[in-house]
Amino acid sequence: MSPKEFFVDKIAAWFARNGVSTLLYDARTLGASDGLPRSDLDPQKMAEDNSDAVTFLLNDGWVDPDRIATWGFFYSSGIALEAAAFDKRIKAVIAQGLMPEWYLNDADQESLIARAVEDRANQLLGNPPEYIPLLNEKGEHLTYFKYLAIMKPEDQATLPNWIPVAKKAASTFRDSLTIQSFYRHAKWKPVHLFAGISPTPVMIVTPENDEIVPPEYQKSIFDSLQSPQKKMQIVKDRGHQDFLSVDIDTLLSEQLAFLKEVFKF
């Protein structure tokens, strides 16, 4: 949802300094990547893009084909797991702050889907796509996704805080999404696909106080994975929204150790 300059570029640089080659790119329709309309999220296509990134690396011979991992953070964590379930060229996966599904809130789903169907018809007539702002006129964050709708009010109140940070970090950031993005997420249910990850090694990193996706739910998904080599890291005293305030060396050193164990380097 955010361009790579928001924080992922710093993650990639850390891994590179520690001997891990990294391929960093913006998801389609976001940041520096192409694709129209802009800010048009399609998680299934994004999972396929993970596979295309693997193909890019293999075609140029930059990396050992037996040492390729995909890495996902929050929104992209479920996408990374879906990609690994199908593409066995991916030899390990790291998913942080696991957000495996993006159900729409029950109270909003019917109206949103109706608007999306109308929007699709309008676009075929040559009209521009409809966008939904992340913040309303009162500065409140949208809560159309069930994850956000069931948050405690005090946690919902802090949701808008990430948007000015993203704008400052990345000039290409757009604080709205196409309504088709919501329509696609209403249909995206990847959890049943995760069984296909085995035997690929997997690491799940969970904030201890995650206020969006309950840590016990993330743990249940981890427990369901049949990969013989798997690891769960609990990030103490952190929630979803203050996760990035953790010391980067502390956060990533354990992930690096996991990759070294899996890939034996």
Return the domain boundaries, the chain: 42-101+190-263, 106-184
- Can you tell me the distance from the alpha carbon of 56 to that of 90, in angstroms, rounded to the nearest whole number? 13
42-101+190-263: which CATH topology? Rossmann fold (3.40.50)
Q: Which sign, positive or negative, has the C-alpha torsion 76, 81, 86, 91?
A: positive
- In this prediction the pTM is 0.94
Calculate the CA 2 to chain-centre distance.
10
pLDDT for position 154? 95
How many residues belong to the chain?
Answer: 265
pLDDT for position 244? 81
Sheet of 202-207, strands arranged across: 69-73, 92-96, 202-207, 230-235
Below-50 pLDDT ranges, the chain: none
Q: Work out the number of other CB atoms within 10 angstroms of the CB of residue 19.
A: 10
- Report whether 227 contacts 195 (CB < 8 A): no
pLDDT for position 24? 95
pLDDT for position 246? 87
pLDDT for position 102? 87
Cβ contacts of 230 within 8 Å, gap of 6 or more: 201, 202, 203, 204, 222
